Structure 1
Amino acid sequence: MLHHVQLACPPGSEQALRDFYQGVLGLAEIPKPPVLAARGGCWFRGHGIELHLGVEADFRPARKAHPGLLVSGLDAWAGRLRAAGYPVAFDGDFPGMRRFYSEDPHGNRLEFLEPVGA
């Protein structure tokens, strides 16, 4: 069983992360343990997933590596992201799944999937 996925973020980007992961995706921010909070970044949980965003001084977005987020109502998720100005790129390359790719405010790749017929 997977506990969480960690993505990197640039220093000082916590508010942009909150705006996206809370405001757009509807995840709740969860407190980091004090020893880890001193390092910056944010943790989020909701919709059956937990994402940790950790600060990297020489940050580069993950363009290929990504979390695959299994969701219900894929088209609504796509609409929410488009309405907030984020890219949505559907493809049909995963048999049995509908999916699209998007990205967070710092360019980290995110995949959203829903089983066909769900």
Structure 2
Amino acid sequence: MYMIQGLDHVQVNAPRGHEAEARTFFGAFLRLPELTKPEILQANGGVWFALPDGRQIHTGVADAFVPSTKGHICLFCDDLDTVLARAEQFGVVCSLDTRVHLRRLYLSDPWGNRMEIVEGRHDSSPSWNTAGD
């Protein structure tokens, strides 16, 4: 049995004052609806976005910001060609990766953080036995 039940949200670091770019990238380009942050956290900066499955993407201010060029979030879609066409409309550079069985692409958010988008889903079958836990 799993102790952890799932993933609630991921936070992407960004430089101070990034909120307008976040709304363009996550809101307009990726078409994710913006969520209202709790009032007590609003002064911290950043923006929260909803994913259709109930999970969230948060952007947060990192004063000593350095983009994450290896570690990344991975989103999934039903049609990667639609993402590619939309990326072209928004001037977002993507690179296709055909090394695994899933169609996938890599791109960077406006601050240089790496992001992956796959068509379909990665296999989530555990490679270890959960029966005795």
Task: Provide the TM-score with structure 1 as the length reference.
Answer: 0.91
Which residue identity does 1:86 align to in structure 2?
V
Would the aligned equivalents of 1:98 and 1:113 in 2 still touch at CA under 8 Å? yes
Shift of 1:46: 2.7
Please point out which of 60, 63, 67 is paired with 2:73: 67
Shift of 1:50: 1.4
The C-alpha deviation readout for 1:31-82, integer Å capped at 9, x for no partner, is 1111211100000013334100000011111111111111111110111112
RMSD: 1.4
Would the aligned equivalents of 1:40 and 1:55 in 2 still touch at CA under 8 Å? yes
1:92 aligns with 2:89: no
The C-alpha deviation readout for 1:65-117, integer Å capped at 9, x for no partner, is 1111111111101111122111110011122x11000111111111000139x
Deviant stretches of 4+, over 6 Å:
none
Could you say which residue in structure 2 is the equivalent of 1:25? 30
The C-alpha deviation readout for 1:2-45, integer Å capped at 9, x for no partner, is 11111101001101110111111100110111121110000001
Which residue identity does 2:50 align to in structure 1?
R
Which has the larger share of strand? Answer: 1
1:54 aligns with 2:60: yes
- Runs of at least 5 residues in structure 1 that lack an aligned partner in the other structure: none
Please point out which of 3, 6, 12 is paired with 1:7: 12
Would the aligned equivalents of 1:63 and 1:108 in 2 still touch at CA under 8 Å? yes
Would the aligned equivalents of 2:34 and 2:50 in 1 still touch at CA under 8 Å? yes
Task: Please say which structure displays the higher CA radius of gyration.
Answer: 2
SS of the residue 1:86 aligns to: coil
The aligned length equals 115
User: Residues of 2 paired with 1:107 and 1:3: CA distance?
Assistant: 24
Task: Provide the TM-score with structure 2 as the length reference.
Answer: 0.81
SS of the residue 1:59 aligns to: coil
Please point out which of 75, 79, 83 is paired with 1:77: 83
